[in-house]
Amino acid sequence: MVDTPAIELRGVARFFGERIALRNISVIVPAGATLAVLGRNGAGKSTLLRVLATLLRQHAGEVSLLGEPLPQRAFAVRGRLGLLAHEPLLYRDLSGRENLRYHARLHGVSAERVEDLLREVGMERRGDEPVRLLSRGMVQRVAVCRAVLHDPEILLLDEARANLDPGASELVEPLLGRASGRTRVITSHDPQAALAEADFALGLRDGRPTFSLPADQVTPEHVRELYA
Amino acid sequence: MPTYGKGLRGLSILTLTTIVVALTLVFFWVPQDASQGFIQKIFYIHVPLAIVSLCGFVFGGILAVMHLRTGDRRYDMRSYVAIHMSLIFGVGGLITGSIWAKASWGHWWVWNEPTLVSFLIVLLMYATYTPFRFSIEDPERQGRYASVFAIVAGAFVPLNFLAVRLAQQYVHPRVLTLTGGNLPGPMRLTFTVSLIGVALLFVTLWKYEMAAKNARIQMRTLRRRLLGDDDLRPPQRSAAPTL
Amino acid sequence: MKTALAILRKDLLLELRTLETLPAMALFSITTFVIFHFGLNRPTVEGQTAAGVLTVTLLFAGILGVNRLFVAEREQGGFDAFLLAPVDRSAMLLAKATALFLFLAVLEVIAVPAFGLLLLGPSLGPPLPSLIAVLALADLGIAVIGTLVSALAVQTRARDVIGPVIGLPLLIPALIATARAIGPLLGSGGPAPLPGKWLLILALYDVVFALVAYAVFDFLLED
């Protein structure tokens, strides 16, 4: 089992009607490593993350997470991955604490874990305010708690730091960062920052891979080609 | 490259022949109904239209089950074509029924004829299929949701007939039952031939539309490929009825 | 079961916080009684007319609840969050149908006495137990169909229109049965015995659609 990669994609494709969102994506991420997915808006980054999150099924190719093939065994991995995307996935009219307690119940996690996490991101005092009254940065901190509530083995981060100020970014680092020990797939609008914390990099352009390399072999030309 | 519309010519000829025979029987052979006279002959068109339309809805529901079970979107297209064809037949059945009602009871619409009322409700239900379907943007979801609709509506049809039937306090003496169980011989034969004719018409039209849709999808794929756009989904998967 | 309870709890909490649905449903029903009063130009109604007025009003007020049922899930990522959790998908159907059933029950606790006060000729007391039985069965049907329809409609562009347009014809048999069962209860000469035929139809309707909904609901959630 040690050798089983956390994430393995082989020839994965996903369509929206006849439009191609992803095509021929193959990548292997060993457990504990970080994959940075780079590309312009609409290149297929979010679609790839949604496929990995079991929210979309692929139309061709093979996806396997933690050794379990998707979509057949999706239920086996669902509780073992966390997704943090543009949407916080929180109810605006409930407080952060209520939202997290709801997710804790869905995931079978204790209420203490909710308190621990709120404290860790510095939200324990504002945890009872409705989410709609919180600033974007605070909402994002609660969303971080939501994503790691069940201590997932795989973390899918879609522009996770976009709304966090530097201080908050440091606060969530132990939860989201490399030190968390989780296998991570990250996207970012800032390719340099993403590459800096990644082991592998996948470049996407119009849904197709342009490169799939160890992060330290990605040259500025590679990046320029992506965004040109 | 698959060819579509195989056997359509033979089927069309068979359909045409059956319908001509049926109409000949209706107008020149079968005796007039003693109490209702000539107008009763509309029965040979009205009832088959209604029966075929209801069967078409059920057929669409079964295809929808197949779609959800197999995930093959061609079933979705078949289901879609079956339901909208049934809707057309159903409107025909409703209009002919209304004409019959005017002729025999003096009103275009009678509430105490349960079959007619149930039929109207079923049509109202299925009339929402198309607007519902096309207000979902994502094609995958559209197919899936349309299939769920078709299955739910399919379960609804018999329950609706049951409830409406029970709700009628003064059911008209039914001149003829749907099954034709107590029809005199010539009437039953004429009715059977008409029913087969209308059913064949349904199948033929269904096949024509399927062939047309498939051909159109293939055409578009080929045209795009000619234009050098290879960024296409493999053709066998692009069976969405959205065009 | 635990999942369904968690969702239900969350839904009730949300409604308690926002009060978006229930007050609207209650107000709507009372306004409709006023309109019926003028539309029918009668100070009181009884018998089948009363049954019709009550059924139609409750149905239309219920449709408001149906329309709102999945809006928060769709707009605030509730679907995604639910799908990310390792739980049975049917829990969503169970929770939402229960929530809608509770909303309808609360609506009726307000609307039925208001109806008795404003419009109904005969006294509401004697037929009340039978009325509750009929309405409970009717609510069950509306809750199941409403949940299904709401889940179908919430993903469409024109969901406020599509919901009622699909829901109303689907509910016609249940409404026929409800109105016909209530009619004899509200007669001017005191309540007649409850027509068992209609209760049976309602129960059959509830069971059939509960099974159908259970069978197809998963397909509405996955992507």
CA C223, distance to chain mean position in Å, is 28
Residue C122 has pLDDT above 90, yes or no: no
Give which of A122, A138, A141, A152 is closest to A52, Cα–Cα.
A152
- Asked whether the beta carbons of residue B166 and residue C197 sit closer than 8 angstroms, the reply is yes
- What are the angstrom distances between the C-alpha of A61 and each of A13, A71, C114? 6, 11, 61
pLDDT tens-digit profile of B14-53? Answer: 999 999 998 888 888 877 776 777 778 888 889 899 999 9
**Mean of pLDDT values over C162-185:** 91
Residue B233: per-residue pLDDT? 60
Lowest mean pLDDT segment, chosen from A93-102, A157-166, C76-85: A157-166
Q: What pLDDT score does C213 carry?
A: 94
List CB contacts (< 8 A) between C177 and chain B: 163
Q: What is the pLDDT of residues B56-91, one digit of tens each?
A: 999 999 999 999 998 888 899 999 999 999 999 999
Q: Cβ contacts (< 8 Å) between C165 and chain B: which residues?
A: 128, 131-132
pLDDT in tens, B114-169: 888 889 999 999 999 999 999 998 888 899 999 999 999 998 988 888 888 777 65
Q: Minimal Cα distance from A58: which residue of B?
A: B140
The two tokens of residue A156 are 């899918």
User: Contact A106/C82 with Cβ under 8 angstroms?
Assistant: yes
Q: What is the pLDDT of residue C93?
A: 94
Nearest-by-Cβ selection for A78 from C2, C10, C86: C86
Task: Identify which of C9, C76, C84 has the shortest CB distance to residue A53.
Answer: C84
Contact B52, B116 (CB under 8 A): no
ipTM: 0.88
Average pLDDT rounded to a whole number, residues C164-190: 90
Residues of A in contact with C2 (CB under 8 A): 105
Residues 6+ apart with CB under 8 A from A158: A45, A46, A49, A83, A84, A85, A86, A186, A187
The answer to whether the CB atoms of B231 and A20 lie below 8 A apart is yes
Name the pTM for this structure. Answer: 0.89
Strands A34-38 and A200-205: parallel
- Å between B134 CA and nearest CA of chain C: 8
d(CA B242, CA B73): 12
SS3 breakdown of chain C: % helix, strand, coil, rounded to 5?
80, 0, 20
Residue of chain C with shortest Cα separation from B118: C173
Q: For chain B, which chains pass the contact test of at least 3 CB pairs under 8 Å?
A: A, C
With a cut of 60, say whether residue B235 has pLDDT above it: no
pLDDT computed for residue B3 by the predictor: 65
Structural domains in chain A, CATH included, are 1-80+154-160+181-228 (3.40.50.300), 86-151 (no CATH)
Share of chain B above pLDDT 70, in %: 85
Q: Is the pLDDT of residue C204 over 60?
A: yes
Question: How many angstroms separate the CA of residue A36 from the nearest CA in chain B?
Answer: 25
Q: Mark yes or no for CB contact C6/A78 under 8 Å.
A: no
Q: Are strands A81-84 and A68-70 parallel, antiparallel or unpaired?
A: unpaired
Short-list C114, C109, C167, C161, CA closest to C143:
C167
Q: Which residues pair with A209 in a beta bridge?
A: A204
Contact status, residue C69 vs residue C92, Cβ threshold 8 Å? no
B229 has a pLDDT exceeding 70: no
Q: Is B144 on the interface with C (CB under 8 A)?
A: yes
Q: How confident is the model at residue B179 (pLDDT cuts 50, 70, 90)?
A: very low
**How far is residue B239's CA from residue B241's CA, in Å, rounded to a whole number?**
6
Check residue B243 and give its pLDDT.
39
Q: Is the pLDDT of residue B177 over 70?
A: no
| pLDDT value at residue B240 | 46
Give the model's pLDDT for residue B220. Answer: 82
The residue among B233, B167, B206 whose CA lies nearest residue A16 is: B233
**Do A200 and A34 touch, CB atoms closer than 8 A?**
yes
**Res B172: pLDDT:** 47
Task: Say if residue A147's pLDDT is above 80.
Answer: yes
Q: Give the residue, C135 or B1, on which the prediction is more confident.
A: C135
pLDDT of residue C207: 94
Q: Is A205 on the interface with B (CB under 8 A)?
A: no
Return the pLDDT at B170: 46
Q: What is the mean pLDDT of residues B193-215?
A: 91
Confidence of residue A15 (pLDDT cuts 50, 70, 90): confident
Cβ under 8 Å to B: A residues 22-81? 59
Is B210 a residue whose pLDDT tops 80?
yes
Give the mean model confidence (pLDDT) for residues A141-159: 91
Task: Note whether B69 contacts C: Cβ–Cβ < 8 A.
Answer: no
Select the highest-mean-pLDDT range: A147-161, C50-64, C209-223. Answer: C50-64
Residues in chain A with CB shorter than 8 Å from the CB of B139 are 16-17
Task: Please list every residue in chain C whose beta carbon sits closer than 8 Å to the beta carbon of residue B137.
Answer: 157
- How large is the average pLDDT for residues A44-71? 88
**Per-residue pLDDT averaged across C115-128, rounded?**
89
Round the average pLDDT of chain C to a whole number and report it.
Answer: 91
pLDDT reading at B237 higher than 50: no
Q: Tokens 């149905």 sit at which residue?
A: C59
Tell me which chain A residues have a C-beta less than 8 angstroms from the C-beta of C72.
Answer: 91, 93
Give the confidence band of A143 by pLDDT, cuts at 50, 70, 90. Answer: very high
- Strands (E) across chain A are located at 7-16, 19-29, 34-38, 60-65, 68-70, 81-84, 154-158, 183-187, 200-205, 208-214
pLDDT for res A208: 87
The mean pLDDT of A11-17, rounded to a whole number, is 84
pLDDT at residue B145, rounded to an integer:
93
CA C181 – CA C193 distance, rounded (Å):
10
DSSP class of residue A37?
E
Q: Which tokens is A95 given?
A: 């407080």
Which of A79, A83, A87 lies nearest to residue C86, judging by beta carbons? Answer: A79
Which residues in chain C have Cβ-Cβ distances shorter than 8 Å to B159?
173, 204-205, 208
Phi first, then psi, for residue A19 (nearest 5°) are -80, 140
Query: Interface of chain C against chain B, CB under 8 Å?
Result: 148, 152-153, 155-158, 162, 165-166, 169-170, 172-174, 176-177, 180, 197-198, 201, 204-205, 208-209, 212-213, 215-216, 219-220, 222-223
**CA proximity to B189, closest of B35, B54, B21:** B21
Q: A111 to chain C, minimum CA–CA distance in Å? A: 13
